[in-house]
Structure 1
Amino acid sequence: MGELTDKAKGIGNEIAGNAKQATSGDNTQQAAEGRAQERKGEAQQFKGKVKGALGDSV
């Protein structure tokens, strides 16, 4: 995947994770899944930034 693809997927995962957390109410499992998905999105965005700095061969 390219730099922009990684960043876009990361943003999507962050949004979905935030939505899960916001709608979880008292459901701690859903809130935890939302936090995990948000972190995954942050990692994907970081990966995209690294690819942008070093080239898509990473």
Structure 2
Amino acid sequence: MGIADKAKNAAEDLVGKAKEVVGDATDNKDLEAEGKKDQGKASLKKAGENVKDVFKK
């Protein structure tokens, strides 16, 4: 994975956190759940990046 992919995953995580905060503040449980889901996907992708980085060495 390149720098662009890592930046994209980091951005997805930040968007997820923002959705979660806005959903919580507005009592919108669907938006809050969507934010948590986005963060989960970003975390899985980051874990995959870490595994690939280990095997590149």
Equivalent runs, 1:35-50 vs 2, <5 Å:
35-50=36-51
What is the aligned-residue identity percentage? 28
Structure 1 unaligned residues grouped into runs of 5+: none
Partner of 2:52: helix, strand, or coil?
A: helix
When the two chains are superposed, the root-mean-square deviation of aligned CA atoms in Å is 1.4
TM-score w.r.t. the length of structure 1 is: 0.79
The answer to which structure has the higher helix fraction is: 2
Q: TM-score, normalised by structure 2?
A: 0.80
Unpaired runs of 5+ residues, structure 2, are none
